[in-house]
Amino acid sequence: MNTDQQTRLSGEILASIALLDRGSESVRAVLNNEENRFSRALEDLQRLATEENIPLAIVGGLAAIRYGYPAATQDIDIAVARAQLDAFLQAAPKYGFKVVWQAKSGWHTLTHGDVEINIVPEGGKAKNSAPTTIPSPVQLGVLRGLDYASLPGWIELKLSFGRQKDKAHVVEAMKKAGPEDVRSVREHLTRVHPTYLALFDQLLAEAEEEKAQEGERGVKE
C-alpha cells in the first residue's frame, strides 16, 4: 500500500469514526447527560413546555434509550395534547425551533438545528388498523414540562405502532425491567385493549427467553 492509499484509508477511517460518534449522540444525551445537539434540543423543549404551560411527553427512540435499549436515534418524538398543538406551533420559533411540515392530522415536523422533532398528536392513530388513539401527555404520565412517557404508556404507544422495530424496543426494555415494572405494564394494558395485552405477553415471553439464553452464554446486560 502506497502513501496515497494509506492517507485515503486513514481519512475514511476517521470519517467513519466521526459518523459513528455523531450517530450515538442521542444515546449519550440520555444516558450521560452529555451536552450535544440532542441535549440542547431537549433543553429548549423543556423551556417551551414549562414557560408556555404545554406538557410534552418524550416517546419513540429516546424513550427506548431511557428504558434500557441504547440504540441510537436521529430524531425526537414528542406527544402533544390535541388542544395545545396550535399553541405549541406558535410558540416553537421563540425557542429555536423551525416548523418544516404542518399536517392536517397533527403529525407535524419541526427542526432544532439539524435535529428533527416529530409531533405525535393526541387523538391520532399510529396506524389505520390500531384499535386505539394516541393518549395525551397527561395520560402518558407527564403533568407539566417535558419528561419521558411512563413505561406503561410508552409500551402502549409502541404496541399501537406495531412495527418490527417497535416490538424489538419492547423486548429489549423488558429484558431490563423488574417484576414490578412488568406488573404495572400488564395492569395498564388490561385497561387499554386486549390486543395490546396479548401482544405484550408474547413479547415478554420472547424477552425472557432471550435473557435466559444470554445468561447461559455469558452475555452481559
Q: Is 11 contained in some domain?
A: no
**Distances in Å between the alpha carbon of 7 and those of 1, 15, 19?**
10, 12, 18
pLDDT computed for residue 70 by the predictor: 87
pTM above 0.85, yes or no: yes
Q: Is 13 contained in some domain?
A: no
What sign does the dihedral 108-110-115-120 (CA atoms) show?
Answer: negative
112 Cβ contact partners less than 8 Å away, ≥ 6 residues apart? 37, 40, 41, 44, 45, 96, 97, 98
Query: Can you give the residue range of the structural domain that contains 33?
Result: 24-216
Q: Is 142 contained in some domain?
A: yes
Which range has the top average pLDDT, 8-12, 14-18, 159-163?
A: 159-163
pLDDT computed for residue 202 by the predictor: 98
Q: Is 88 contained in some domain?
A: yes
Q: Residue 16 — very low, low, confident or very high, per pLDDT cuts 50/70/90? A: very low
Q: Which grid cell sits at 199?
A: 401482544
Q: Is 192 contained in some domain?
A: yes
Instruction: Specify the number of domains making up the chain.
Output: 1
Instruction: Kindly report the CATH number assigned to the domain that includes residue 172.
Output: 3.30.460
Asked if 46 and 145 count as a contact pair (C-beta separation under 8 A), the reply is yes
pLDDT computed for residue 191 by the predictor: 97
Range scoring the smallest mean pLDDT among 12-16, 25-29, 79-83: 12-16
pLDDT computed for residue 72 by the predictor: 87
